[in-house]
Amino acid sequence: MSKPTSNWEKVGDRFYRKVQLYSDVFDQDLELENYKVVGAPYSGAVAIYRDEEKIHTYRGSQAAKSSIDIYSCAGKLIQRINWDKGSIKGLGWSEDEKLIVVTGDGTVRCYYELQGDFVPFSLGHGAEEHGVQSCRFWSSGFVALLGNNHLIAVSRYDEPRPQLLAKPPTDDVISWSIIPPAYSLSRSVEVVLAIGQTLYVVDATDAEDRDFTAGPFRHISVSPRGEFLAFYTEDGKVWVVSGDWSEKLSEYNSGAKTVPKDMQWCGSNAVALAWEDEVHLIGPKSVATKFYYDAWVHLLPDVDGLRLLTNDVCEYIQKVPAETEAVFRLGSESPAAALLEASTLLDQKSPKADDLIQMIRPSLAEAVDTCVKAAGHEYNIHWQKALLKAASFGKSVLDLYSSDDFVDMCETLRVLNAVRFYEIGLPLSYDQFKRLTPERLISRLLNRHEYLLALRISSYLHLPTSQIHVHWACRKVRLSSDDEESICRLIVKKLNGLPGISFEEIARAAYDEGRVRLATELLNYEPRAGKQVPLLLGMKEDNIALDKAIESGDTDLIHHVLLHMRKKLPLASFFRVINTRPVATALVEASAADQDRELLKDLYYQDDRRLDGSNLLVSEALSQKDNLPAALDKLRLASKYLQDSKEYTSQRQVLDETQRLLKLQEQFEKDLSAPGVEGTGTGPKFVGLSANETIFQLIREKHNKRAQKVQSEFKIPDKSYWWIRLRALVASRHWTELEELAKLKKSPIGWEPFFNEVLAAGNTRVASHFIPKCTSLTVRERVEMWTKCGLLVQAGEEAFKAKDRVLLEELRDRAGGSAAVELERMLGMLGRR
Amino acid sequence: MAPITPFNASDITEKARRDLLLLLEGIRGKKNLVLEKSLAGPLNLLVKFSTLQEYGVDKPFFLENDHVDSSQRNVVFLVRGEKAKTVSRVAAQIKRLRHNGQVEHEFYIFWVPRRTMVSDQLLEEAGVLGEANVSEWPLYFVPLADDVLSLELDDAVSDLYIRKDPTPIYLSAKALMLQQQKYGLFPRIIGKGDNAQRLADLLIRMRTEVTAGESNEGYGSSFLGLTPSSTIDSLIIIDREIDFSTVLLTQLTYEGLIDEVFNISANQTEVDSSVIGGTAQQPGQQGSASTSMKRKILIDPKDTLYSTLGDSNFAIVGNLLNKVARRLQSSTERNQLAAKTTAELREFVAKLPGYQAEQASLKLHTSLAEEIIKHTRTDVFTRSLEVQQNIMSGADPTTQHDSITELVSRNVPLETVLRLLCLESTTNAGVRPKDLETFKRAIILAYGPQHMLTLSALEKMSLLQPRGGSSLAGGIGGPAAKPGTVTNYSPLRRSLKLWDDEVNEADPNDISYVFSGYAPLSVRLVQSIIQKQTLASLLMKKPAGGLNQSASHASHMTQGLRLFEDSAKYIRGATVDETQIGEEKAVKARAMLNGSHNDGSKTVVVFFLGGVTRAEIAALRFVAQKLRERGGEGRGSRIVVAATGVVTGEGLVGASVEKASFGGDHVQ
């Protein structure tokens, strides 16, 4: 077994290791130097296409056909996308392994699931006229540079919204790069442009000149988390600047005459420069190490390292993880190293094992942890085992140790080793796996149609397997040549009853394939009504879609279906459809009331809902504002609407009365606004008042005759009439009339309200007129009334008449001045008798 | 492990806050915020305006006013996306800005609480979908207090009962489902009313749908999420429809009266500034959006003074205020005199801010209470209260007709009259058709012909309807037309003791204190589920009192067990009783994870579909407090009130009142 340190390189005071992941990657005939190569993040697939700017050997017409080829890291062809859609100006991956292809005319194609299917969208913002020059990608979006130096950012692919960033100067862009939104200070994407001698930083709102003079910068590279920026200057120097631009961290002179073809970060602490077959790795403090290759080498940066790809090998350069270094570094004195040593000694049945263990006893737990972690970072299965064995040994010596980490690591390693296998070709590092998450690893496996492995891993890691089944079924539906019945039977047999299965997705796949019957059949197994609706609409099964939408209870869905049907169907059939479905009818009514009254009218007519129809007309009459004739017309119509049915006679009566009232009011307005009245020519307004209010208004204006006419016309009860009269008189302060009223014998509402209302208006004098008339009240109450008017003497007389001594005494206590004397006198009189 | 508290108000607030700020953070630079008026209240509760400013909000605009300007490049719309009307409004404003501005705008739309397909469709038709960055702000529950969650759906009443639009039900189900996914299923769902049935069905449906699909869309602890919760006891759904009467009554708690008199929306009330006088530096005052005359006051459930006042019957609020005033006065004065040593002085000074805050709050509430007293002293108030009390205590409603007619003639606000009429109708299964016709006519004559629409809407809501069938001659309490179509109060009045003659407002011993006599049916129903024994013994208690508890205990038990089922027969609508059970293994796992909970500390969620009144909240708090004292009765003791919104009688009948009138807008 080779030593674990054999592939380590010292760069300054740190170690880097170059792990060979796969060999014999590509066909030797493939002229990799003539290809552009981009790799998906987290050791994902690699897409290559022939660089059109380079000449290449002619290999017959077949090979001349342009294509984008997607390979696994191990060189297995996953998909070939034939390309005849123009020149490719940008090729990149998203975090979830979507391949993004940007062509010169600003069209973006987003290939999902590593298949030939794509979703296109266009950049707009002048991309078509000026042409896309190049693109830079980050995990969930990209920025395109146009011919006129405009920058367009797209920050998501599910709903792309190309956004024009601030405009930089139009001089030639020498090189450029982006800082992903997650790591920029402004939390939105920032673009670093090298123009002339200086650098510009561009975001959505402004383009800022950073005032550099050391340019022109040939390459710009941003570290994976945006904490550092690296620049390659014209004179062969590499500058590293902190992400906030505050300080220059290091400068390295490559001494090279030719500009390297690529510069990338390796993790966050080293920069790699690549010439055709030479790679310089520059660590902090400007020390470098060099690697040489036989063939053209491509750099594929990843979050924690750098993949190198040549025809022969796929290698991975990363900083040696701290734990690994602690265990394996030559001469390491860390407890973990000792533990590993002890474990090997134990295998050799050497008693020294125990001595070693005793020596590191105090830090044994830490040593176990380190060994476990180091195992995770190890690619070599032999060393993984050795480290885990050491950890296990250490663990057995400890009294108390939680084995969770150890168990987790064993599981993880098993998964990692499985996917690293060359036939799968996903050489994930431990950190990448943690960041990718097992769920997304599963979906990557699905993209590669590794269903069995995905299932095994899912059940091994206790993950839901539904997605795998669905994916499998979709593929089955798409590709199987069996008859529909047996496909359906097969799928249902395998999937029915499993949790989380989306039959809708499978049905949709079937429908997209043109297998409509299969789709319908599969859809029946979908438990989520909401999910079925869009597909059913697509399949033109509108009525079923409506039923399903109603079943789901989601009004949005119901509205959606209804809108759809409303556009498609003639009115009569539309009504027929909703007629039997009360919820749908209610929703149509509710939205039509705001938006489409004509529809509502038709609906009521069709359904013979007379009262509703008439009410609708009334509310239209109400919205006529000052146009009285129009309002009257509507009312007449409303009344007519009801004329055939007996049950609405009272409603009709109201409608007819309303018309009479309105006409009457109009008349009043005309009569009373004759010039001379009120001087201004515009009399009081009546239209719109209620009958009572009309009377009120008339009495206020002293048109008593007219008021009485209204009363008799609308048969307003006497009681009400008196109340209105009272309120109107009080409101207009017609005290004399009130006093006149007080002379009457009887009032239908009694006299108490008169007292209360007048008193509330503040006229105690007039109010007191009514007190003696309130004969139905008790003495005490009347006394209280007098008191409220401030007439204590009269109150006293009231009490005196009733011979209520107690009351009188109370009054006396409250009174002062002459009233008190008078009250005292009364008391005396009472007392005498 | 710390016990998990389900339906935790601060968690919900925090999440909503974070979600919104994250959305705002995603937009670079300053932005103008356009929001729907009905969202202003909840927004203010969740996020301070200064925080919004920190996140780049420059100026807020109301969607309804349509006056957002081009002062900023970024325009953010924060609107509810359920109604086509609002969506079209957003589309129109985007178009307007696009056409008139020299600025090239970036539009962002945050739909609340979810992005709808209809909104997409409408925006697309208007040709603006391509230009707007659409995202959603999943704001469902807005916590109004620690134990009160509201969806703040202002239109819920008119949607549910006039237009029969089930959107609020769906949104409620969504909101409850989200909580279920977090804290586990409600082990039991009990409810009353047709809409409650719908809601329960939806919840069960959603459960299967969630199991069927969303598990891989990142709800986290999916496999635990859908097992019955060990911290929640049950969900009780009350459809407002079954008990309109409670809403129609005038609330008599302090908080309820503030709501009745000044209107509270999202814990804020607007009071004429003359009322609270020159107290310019009120701690709870929000000066930003108030007009010159009105002043906004925050009704803060965390204010110590208010927390004791809010749920008390208004009759004793004066005394309570007095007491506090005296305490404050004496403590400050004594301290000033006694402050001789520096240590004492320091202690006193340290307490000062507290005193000042309390004093300010005292001043505020004293002036509020005074204003309310002015209101309650009016003749109209006492008259209508008298009518209400008579109707609720079971008097023949026809005896009240004179009073109502008089109120009509006196032209008191229409809502007041309608409340009384509807109250009569709902408590007596309708109004005698002849009387109803008379009243209708009187109302139309008094308030204007446009109200024929109002009346017909009320009938649609089954708030005001003729008494059907045989009971025409039968007088009050006659059997309703069809069982299950109306709530029949007369048997319930007895079997649930809805009327309490010996109500004690100062030291309440029953929930009846919130209405000074009437015990709200909705809360009685809840009691019949979670507080069976107390309720049963209350019912058994002879007027004379002094009952031998232990002897009749057994009979209480047996009677108590069937209380809910028995009363449910007389209440309109369907009865819901569902148990949700999960796999045994998962249940055990959850129980282990959350630690064992004794039933006493479990949470009962009471959901009011169609709105809850503040008086009912007070009553439920009273129930919860009693449960805590006795350590629960086999069910949970923490009660969380959730609702589609907070309603008052005025709002309920107001939903149907026609606002337009003939001849333009010069009247009223």
Of residues A340 and A285, more confidence is placed in A340
Which residues constitute the domain of residue A369?
321-401
- Which tens digit of pLDDT belongs to each residue from A731-748? 888 888 888 888 888 888
Q: From chain A, pick out residues whose CB is under 8 angstroms from the CB of B208.
A: 527
A695 is a domain residue: no
Task: Say what the pLDDT of residue B150 is.
Answer: 92
Q: Which of A163, A557, A611 sits opposite B456 (nearest CB)?
A: A611
Q: Which of residues 172-201 of B touch A (CB under 8 A)?
A: 173, 198, 201
Q: Of chain A residues 46-65, which have a CB less than 8 A from chain B?
A: none
In angstroms, the first-to-last Cα distance of chain A is 135
Q: Give CA–CA dist A302/A46, Å, rounded.
A: 12
Radius of gyration of chain B (CA): 26
What is the C-alpha to C-alpha distance for residues B428 and B394, in angstroms, rounded to an integer?
Answer: 9
Of all residues in chain B, the one with the smallest CA distance to A462 is B223
A811 inside domain = yes
Write out chain B residues lying below 8 Å of A687, CB-based.
662-663
- Residue A361 included in any domain: yes
| pLDDT the model gives residue A137 | 92
Per-residue model confidence (pLDDT) at position B480? 41
DSSP secondary structure code for residue A284 in this structure? G
The alpha carbon dihedral of A463, A469, A474, A476 has a sign of positive
CB-CB under 8 Å, A619 with B660? yes
Q: Is residue A552 less than 8 Å (CB to CB) from chain B? A: yes
**CA dist list (Å): B240 to B140, B431, B458, B573:** 19, 20, 15, 11
pLDDT score of B336: 59
Check: CB of residue B565 under 8 Å from CB of residue B199: no
Question: Min CA distance, A673 vs chain B (Å)?
Answer: 17
Per-residue 3-state assignment (H helix, E strand, C coil) for A737-781: HHHHHHCCCCCCCCCHHHHHHHHHCCCHHHHHHCHHHCCCCCHHH
Compute the average pLDDT of residues B594-611. 74
Residue in chain B nearest A165 by alpha carbon: B28
Residue of B nearest to A553 (CA): B170
Chain A CB contacts of B404 under 8 Å are: none
Strands A151-154 and A163-164: antiparallel
Which residues face A270 on adjacent strands? A266
Q: Does B280 touch chain A (CB under 8 A)?
A: no
DSSP A166: P
Q: Which region holds residue A75: left if phi is over 0, alpha if psi is between -120 and 50, else beta?
A: left
The percent of residues above 90 in pLDDT, for chain A, comes to: 6
For tokens 């985007």, the residue is B94
Mean pLDDT of chain A: 85
Cα B517 from Cα B499, distance rounded (Å): 6
- Sign (positive/negative) of CA torsion B434, B440, B441, B442? positive
Region B349-361 average pLDDT = 80
d(CA A590, CA A596): 10
Instruction: Tell me, yes or no, if B441 comes closer than 8 A to chain A by beta carbon.
Output: yes
List the single residue in B83, B85, B202 with the smallest CB-CB distance to A553.
B202
In whole angstroms, give the CA distance from residue A527 to residue B215.
14
Residue A681 has pLDDT above 80, yes or no: no
Is the Cβ pair B452, A692 closer than 8 Å?
no
Burial B422-433 (b: 16+ CB within 10 A, else e): bbbbbbbbbbbe
Q: What is the pTM of this model?
A: 0.78
Is there a domain that residue A359 lies in?
yes
φ, ψ dihedrals at B578, nearest 5°: -120, 140
Describe the strand order of the beta sheet including A173-179 as a list of residue ranges. A173-179, A190-195, A198-202, A207-209
Q: Which residues of B touch A589 (CB under 8 A)?
A: 163
Residues of A in contact with B165 (CB under 8 A): 555, 586-587, 590
Is the pLDDT at A300 greater than 80? The verdict is yes
- What residues form DSSP beta bridges with A144? A135, A152
CA atoms within 13 A on the CB side of A211: 2
pLDDT at B3 (0 to 100): 56
Q: How many angstroms away from the CA of B222 is the closest CA of chain A?
A: 10
**DSSP letters of B223-249?**
HHHTSB-SSEEEEEEEEGGGGHHHHHS
Scanning A619-678 for CB atoms below 8 A from B yields: 619, 621-623, 625-626, 628, 631, 650-651, 654-655, 657-658, 661-662, 665
Tell me: pLDDT of B219 over 70: no
The yes-or-no verdict on residue A431 having pLDDT over 80 is yes
Choosing from A401, A416, A434, the residue where a domain stops is: A401
Q: How confident is the model at residue A143 (pLDDT cuts 50, 70, 90)?
A: very high
Question: Is residue B73's pLDDT more than 90?
Answer: no
Q: Which of residues 183-202 of A touch B (CB under 8 A)?
A: 186-188
Query: Predicted confidence band at A251 (pLDDT cuts at 50, 70, 90)?
Result: confident
CB contact under 8 A, A693 and B448: yes
- Strand, coil or helix: what is A314? strand
**CA torsion angle B485 B491 B492 B497 (round to 10):** 170
For residue B106, report the phi and psi dihedrals to the nearest 5 degrees. -110, 125
Chain B residue numbers with beta carbons less than 8 Å from the beta carbon of A560 are: 116-118, 121
State the Cα–Cα distance between residues A90 and A88, nearest whole angstrom: 6
Could you report the per-residue pLDDT of A149-181, keeping only the tens digit for each? 899 999 888 888 888 888 888 888 889 999 998
Write the residue in A688, A723, A724 that is nearest to B666 by C-beta. Answer: A688
For residues A756 and A784, the answer to whether their CB atoms sit within 8 Å is: no
Among residues A401, A421, A437, which one ends one of the domains? Answer: A401
Contacts of B540 (CB under 8 A, 6+ apart): B547, B552, B555, B556, B559
Structure tokens at B160: 């549910």
Q: Give the containing element (helix H, strand E) for A568.
A: helix A555-568
Cα–Cα distance, B43 to B23 (Å, whole number): 14
Pairing of the two strands B106-112 and B132-136: parallel
Query: Which of the two residues, B361 and B597, has the higher pLDDT score?
Result: B361
Q: What is the pLDDT of residue B595?
A: 54
Q: Which of A553, A591, A654 sits opposite B169 (nearest CB)?
A: A553
Pairing of strands B603-609, B638-643: parallel
State yes or no: pLDDT of A258 exceeds 90. no
Residues in Cβ contact with B380 at an 8 Å cutoff, skipping those fewer than 6 apart: B407, B410, B412, B416
**Interchain CB distance below 8 Å, B166 and A186:** no
**Nearest-neighbour CA in chain A from B314: distance (Å):** 25
Chain B residue numbers with beta carbons less than 8 Å from the beta carbon of A559 are: 84, 116-118
A640 is a domain residue: no
- DSSP state for residue B479 in the 8-state scheme: P
Mean pLDDT of B175-203: 89
Name the β-bridge partners of A143.
A136, A153
ipTM of the complex: 0.85
B39-59 mean pLDDT: 88
Looking at the predicted structure, is the pLDDT value of residue B563 above 90? no
DSSP secondary structure string for all residues of A38-66: EE-TTT--EEEEE-TTS-----HHHHHS-
With CB atoms and an 8 Å threshold, state whether A720 touches B442.
yes
pLDDT tier at B593, thresholds 50, 70, 90: low
Other C-beta atoms lying within 10 Å of the C-beta of residue A640? 13
Q: Tabulate helix, strand, coil % of chain A (nearest 5).
A: 50, 20, 35
Cis amide leading into B466 (omega within 30): no
Judge residue A573's burial from the number of C-beta atoms within 10 Å of its C-beta, 0-12 exposed, 13-18 middle, 19 or more buried: exposed
Q: Residue A427, SS3? A: coil
Residues 510 to 539 of A: which have CB under 8 A from any B CB? 526-531
Per-residue pLDDT for B169 more than 90?
A: yes
Q: Which among A501, A557, A626 has CB closest to B212?
A: A501
Cβ–Cβ gap B212/A690 under 8 Å = no
Query: Which amino acid is present at A253?
Result: N
Q: What is the pLDDT of residue B552?
A: 47
Q: Is the pLDDT of residue B586 over 80?
A: no
Give me the pLDDT at residue B175, please.
Answer: 92
| Structure confidence at residue B542 as a pLDDT band (50, 70, 90) | very low
Mean pLDDT score, A411-428: 90
C-alpha span between A93 and B370 (Å, rounded)? 69
Which of the listed residues A346, A377, A401 is the one where a domain comes to its end? A401
Q: Mean of the pLDDT values across residues B559-566? A: 72
Q: What is the 3-state secondary structure (H, E, C) of A213-270?
A: CCCCEEEEEECCCCCEEEEEECCCEEEEEECCCCCEEEEEECCCCCCCCEEEEECCCE
Q: Where are the alpha helices (DSSP H) in A300-380?
A: 322-328, 335-347, 352-360, 364-377
Predicted pLDDT of residue A333: 82
Q: How many helices (H) and strands (E) does chain A have?
A: 33, 29
Q: Please give the biggest Cα pair distance in chain A.
A: 143
Is residue B285 scored above 60 in pLDDT? no
A-B contacts at Cβ under 8 angstroms: 200
How crowded is the C-beta side of A792, counted as CA atoms within 13 Å?
19
- Lookup: tokens for A394: 């250490």
What pLDDT was estimated at residue A683? 66
- Angle, nearest 10°, between helix axes B451-460 and B414-427? 30
Instruction: Determine, yes or no, domain membership for A817.
Output: yes
Q: Which helix (H) or strand (E) holds A21?
A: strand A14-23
* Yes or no, beta carbons of B409 and A187 under 8 Å apart: no
Peptide bond into A216 cis (omega under 30): yes
Question: Position of tokens 């309807």?
Answer: B465
Q: Is A467's CB within 8 Å of B411's CB?
A: no
b/e sequence B366-404, b meaning 16+ C-beta within 10 Å: bbbbebbeeebeeeebebbbebbbbbbebeebeebbeeb
Residue range A774-778: average pLDDT?
A: 81
Q: Which of A109, A84, A106, A111 lies closest to A96, judged by CA?
A: A111
Question: Exposure pattern of A694-720 as b/e (b: 16+ CB <10 Å)?
Answer: bbbbbbbbebeebbbebbeebebbebb
Which residue is it, tokens 């402050």? B339
| pLDDT band, residue B217 (cuts 50/70/90) | very low
Residue A311 lies in a domain: no
Provide mean pLDDT across the span A498-519. Answer: 83
**Total structural domains within chain A:** 2
> For residue B284, what pLDDT is reported?
41
DSSP structure class, residue B395:
-
Give residue B290's pLDDT: 38
pLDDT in tens, A50-87: 877 776 666 555 555 688 889 888 888 888 888 888 88
- Give the chain B residue nearest A631 (alpha carbons): B662
Contacts of A592 in chain B (CB under 8 A): none
Asked if the C-beta of B92 comes within 8 angstroms of chain A's C-beta atoms, the answer is: no
Token pair in block for residue A442: 């599963």
pLDDT greater than 60 at residue A418: yes
Q: Is the pLDDT of residue B439 over 80?
A: yes
For B449, the closest of A188, A658, A724 (CB atoms) is: A658
- pLDDT for B551: 44
Q: How confident is the model at residue A817 (pLDDT cuts 50, 70, 90)?
A: confident
Compare CB distances from B167 to A529, A555, A589 and report the shortest one's residue: A555
For the ranges A600-604, A811-815, B332-336, which has the lowest average pLDDT? B332-336
Looking at the complex, report in whole angstroms how far the Cα of residue B442 sits from the nearest Cα belonging to chain A: 8
Partners of B409 on chain A (C-beta within 8 Å) are: 692, 719-720, 723-724, 749
- Length in residues, chain B: 668
**Dist CA B8 CA B3 (whole Å):** 12
Best interface-test mutation with B: which of A150, A654, A659 has the largest number of B CBs within 10 A?
A: A654
Is residue A555, in this structure, part of any structural domain at all? no
Beta carbons within 8 Å of A606's beta carbon, 6+ residues apart: A572, A575, A579
